[in-house]
């Protein structure tokens, strides 16, 4: 039977969606296959249909028992031989399913990932009967995914234990880091890779180079005049308040949303936006999850976001109804400082974590408890420390069960209880190299945002390339596509070349050389221009 016949016969669908047919061919050829497609793209068919055509059983690993049951019910309703194995079943039911696998009465069996913890379960699976190992929600394999599940880590071993069948891994999370982790962890062999369906044909991505708050506010004013509904993302709470105050006169319904508001204030703001009483939101990235409003016409990033992943997810909230909508980033290199501060705050090194643990031990009372705020801890460290880094260190210590955080009745402040009394920070079982790798990844993600902002090629294509979706066409909607119609490269005259060389030399001399071709900016564009023009202003002279 051909895949086309099976599609009609078993699923009652007339044709494949792009690129289901190619994926199914790869799977049927016993290739290891990685599939990254957005939610709703039709990933299930890519393992369910081959399962029916392959000679043995397909095991499908899926993280949510409820989801598993829905899928199995739907397959059984079509009269297809599907079953499941998870901890919600009785031992008898599990034994029945295993027998059905051995007797080849089932073609598709959904298995919860924690089953693979049990050696007796692995031994009970007949090795020669398994044709395909399918991993749904495969981003759960990656520590860099948003939904890491330790049970998924064992799947590479499990695959070997069941005789090393070909493997298909599927996810909607497209980051290259996550894809690399999936391939490595499952030891995929020269996999066929499909990343598709992430383009947003109704969005136009624009980056506006801005050099002052005034530029940015003017840009927002234009956006609000042209489109009545939108989200303005700011990097910090402070910036949310400042921007909201300055634009309140432009629209009758501006609301603000950030983590510094109380739960009830946040809920009220969100309700007003969803119910269309308010149409403009100024918010930090805390806003957006579960916002079900399809007519958002623009998403503006007032400051650069920390990653392309965040940018695309936040920008992607525009135009869910399919109508033309705009994503505009107001870019100023100087805003990088805020993101640098966040990266530093999210990545305390092992030394700082150990130091904070020792400080907690030294200040704890007879019950091994400490009641100090993050700011007080910073003060006691006796030098300038990023308070976010101290918070992150506390979270890390708590995840490692070295401390326990507890509520103090009637206070916002949380208390800390030492769990490993008598031990020192230097004994912490933390992998310093892994922490450093994570910090480096965060920095690379931020660098990608800056490259994106300076790019001169199609923005949609740039983003799809970043996620690994190759060979897309130019969008013809973004700022770069629109400008390229009017732009043609020409060779510089000799004088122009000299000016460019002088300007670059000025930039280099006003930057710090970090070695190995890395430079850190110390001054903004304005100062560099003033200096090149020979300004004698106090600010220039004082900077030496």
Query: Which residue among 34, 43, 58, 307 contacts ligand ADP (CB under 6 A)?
Result: 43
Smaller CB distance to ligand ADP: residue 173 or 206? 173
Query: Nearest Cα to 233, choosing from 345, 318, 322?
Result: 318
Smaller CB distance to ligand ADP: residue 21 or 371? 21
480, 458 contact by CB (below 8 A): yes
CA dihedral 445, 451, 454, 456 (to 10 degrees): -120
Smaller CB distance to ligand ADP: residue 21 or 380? 21
Helix or strand run (H / E) with residue 122: helix 119-124
Question: Nearest approach, Cβ of 319 to ligand ADP (angstroms)?
Answer: 20
Q: Under the criterion CB under 6 A, does residue 139 sit at the interface with ligand ADP?
A: no
Residue 489: how many other CB atoms lie within 10 Å: 5
Q: Under the criterion CB under 6 A, does residue 509 sit at the interface with ligand ADP?
A: no
Residue 469 in tokens: 């979706």
Contact pattern from residue 204 through residue 243 relative to ligand ADP, giving x for each residue in contact according to CB under 6 A and a dash for the rest: ----------------------------------------
- 35 forms beta bridges with 170, 194
Cα distance between residue 382 and residue 148, in whole Å: 36
Question: Nearest approach, Cβ of 34 to ligand ADP (angstroms)?
Answer: 14
How many Cα atoms occupy the beta-carbon half-sphere of 33 within 13 Å?
28
Smaller CB distance to ligand ADP: residue 42 or 126? 42
Smaller CB distance to ligand ADP: residue 4 or 379? 4
Alpha-carbon radius of gyration of the chain: 28
Classify residue 328 as exposed, middle or buried by CB count within 10 Å of its CB (0-12, 13-18, 19+).
buried
Q: Under the criterion CB under 6 A, does residue 111 sit at the interface with ligand ADP?
A: no
Question: Nearest approach, Cβ of 239 to ligand ADP (angstroms)?
Answer: 35
Q: Under the criterion CB under 6 A, does residue 39 sit at the interface with ligand ADP?
A: yes
Smaller CB distance to ligand ADP: residue 320 or 438? 320
Q: Under the criterion CB under 6 A, does residue 13 sit at the interface with ligand ADP?
A: yes
Smaller CB distance to ligand ADP: residue 60 or 353? 60
Cα distance between residue 362 and residue 375, in whole Å: 17
Q: Under the criterion CB under 6 A, does residue 3 sit at the interface with ligand ADP?
A: no
Smaller CB distance to ligand ADP: residue 40 or 382? 40
For 204, phi then psi, to 5°, come to: -115, 125
Cα distance between residue 34 and residue 27, in whole Å: 10
Smaller CB distance to ligand ADP: residue 37 or 53? 37
User: Could you tell me which stretch among 12-20, 82-90, 391-399, 525-533 binds ligand ADP (CB under 6 A)?
Assistant: 12-20
305, 446 contact by CB (below 8 A): no
Query: Which residue among 8, 25, 30, 44 contacts ligand ADP (CB under 6 A)?
Result: 44
The 3-state secondary structure of 221-282, one letter per residue: HHHHHHCCCEEEECCCHHHHHHHHHHHHHHCCCEEEECCCCCHHHHHHHHHHHHCCCCCEEE
Question: Nearest approach, Cβ of 268 to ligand ADP (angstroms)?
Answer: 33
Cα distance between residue 433 and residue 349, in whole Å: 9
Classify residue 144 as exposed, middle or buried by CB count within 10 Å of its CB (0-12, 13-18, 19+).
buried
Cα distance between residue 275 and residue 287, in whole Å: 15
Smaller CB distance to ligand ADP: residue 13 or 180? 13
Query: Nearest Cα to 330, choosing from 182, 531, 178, 479?
Result: 479
Q: Under the criterion CB under 6 A, does residue 37 sit at the interface with ligand ADP?
A: yes
User: Total residues at the site for ligand ADP (CB under 6 A)?
Assistant: 12
Query: Which residue among 23, 34, 36, 41 contacts ligand ADP (CB under 6 A)?
Result: 41
Smaller CB distance to ligand ADP: residue 24 or 129? 24
Q: Under the criterion CB under 6 A, does residue 16 sit at the interface with ligand ADP?
A: yes
> What is the length of the chain?
544
User: Could you tell me which stretch among 10-18, 99-107, 253-261, 445-453 binds ligand ADP (CB under 6 A)?
Assistant: 10-18
Q: Under the criterion CB under 6 A, does residue 436 sit at the interface with ligand ADP?
A: no
User: Could you tell me which stretch among 14-22, 76-84, 118-126, 334-342 binds ligand ADP (CB under 6 A)?
Assistant: 14-22
Cα distance between residue 410 and residue 460, in whole Å: 50
For 190, phi then psi, to 5°, come to: 35, 60
181, 453 contact by CB (below 8 A): no
Question: Nearest approach, Cβ of 148 to ligand ADP (angstroms)?
Answer: 20
Query: Which residue among 40, 55, 290, 382 contacts ligand ADP (CB under 6 A)?
Result: 40
User: Could you tell me which stretch among 38-46, 242-250, 364-372, 428-436 binds ligand ADP (CB under 6 A)?
Assistant: 38-46
Smaller CB distance to ligand ADP: residue 62 or 392? 62
Residue ranges that bind ligand ADP, judged by CB under 6 A: 13, 16-17, 20, 37, 39-45
């Amino acid at each position: 039977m051909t895949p086309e016949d099976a599609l009609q016969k078993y699923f009652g669908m007339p044709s494949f969606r792009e690129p289901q047919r190619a994926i199914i061919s790869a799977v049927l050829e016993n290739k290891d296959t990685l599939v990254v497609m957005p939610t709703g793209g039709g990933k299930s068919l890519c393992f369910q249909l081959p399962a029916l055509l392959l000679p043995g059983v397909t095991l499908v690993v899926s993280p949510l028992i409820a989801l598993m049951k829905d899928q199995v019910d739907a397959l059984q309703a079509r009269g297809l031989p599907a079953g499941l194995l998870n901890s919600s079943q009785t031992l008898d039911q599990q034994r029945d399913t295993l027998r059905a696998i051995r007797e080849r009465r089932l073609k598709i069996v959904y298995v919860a990932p924690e089953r693979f913890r049990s050696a007796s379960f692995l031994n009970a699976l007949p090795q020669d009967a398994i044709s395909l190992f399918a991993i749904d929600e495969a981003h759960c394999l990656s520590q860099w995914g948003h939904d890491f599940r330790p049970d998924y880590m064992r799947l590479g071993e499990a695959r070997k234990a069941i005789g090393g069948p070909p493997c298909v891994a599927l996810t909607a999370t497209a980051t290259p880091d996550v894809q690399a982790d999936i391939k490595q962890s499952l030891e995929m062999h020269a996999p066929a890779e499909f990343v598709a369906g992430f383009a947003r044909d109704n969005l136009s991505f624009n980056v506006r180079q801005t050099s002052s708050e005034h530029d940015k506010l003017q840009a927002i004013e234009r956006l609000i005049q042209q489109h009545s509904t939108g989200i303005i993302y700011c990097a910090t709470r402070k910036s949310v308040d400042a921007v909201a105050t300055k634009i309140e006169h432009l629209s009758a319904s501006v609301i603000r949303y950030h983590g510094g508001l109380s739960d009830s204030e946040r809920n009220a703001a969100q309700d007003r936006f969803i119910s269309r009483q308010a149409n403009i939101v100024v918010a930090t990235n805390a806003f957006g999850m579960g916002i079900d409003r399809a007519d958002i016409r623009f998403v503006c990033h007032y400051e650069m976001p920390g990653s392309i992943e965040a940018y695309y997810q936040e920008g992607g909230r525009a135009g869910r109804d399919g109508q033309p909508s705009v994503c505009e980033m107001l870019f100023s290199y100087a805003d990088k400082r805020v993101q640098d501060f966040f990266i530093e705050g999210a990545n305390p090194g092992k030394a700082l974590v150990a130091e904070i643990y020792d400080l907690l031990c030294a200040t704890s009372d007879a019950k091994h408890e400490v009641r100090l705020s993050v700011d007080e801890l910073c003060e006691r460290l006796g030098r300038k420390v990023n308070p976010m880094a101290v918070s992150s260190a506390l979270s890390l210590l708590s995840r490692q069960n070295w401390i326990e955080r507890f509520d103090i009745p009637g206070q916002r402040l949380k208390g800390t209880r030492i769990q490993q009394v008598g031990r020192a920070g230097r004994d912490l079982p933390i992998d310093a190299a892994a922490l450093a790798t994570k910090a480096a990844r965060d920095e690379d993600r931020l660098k990608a945002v800056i490259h994106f902002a300076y790019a001169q090629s199609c923005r949609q294509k740039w983003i799809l390339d970043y996620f690994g979706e190759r060979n897309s066409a130019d969008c013809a909607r973004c700022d770069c596509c629109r400008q390229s119609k009017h732009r043609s490269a020409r060779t510089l005259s000799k004088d122009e070349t000299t000016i460019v060389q002088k300007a670059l030399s000025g930039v280099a001399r006003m930057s710090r050389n970090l070695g190995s071709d890395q430079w850190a900016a110390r001054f903004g564009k304005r100062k560099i221009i003033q200096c090149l023009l020979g300004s004698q202003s106090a600010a220039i002279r004082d900077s030496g």
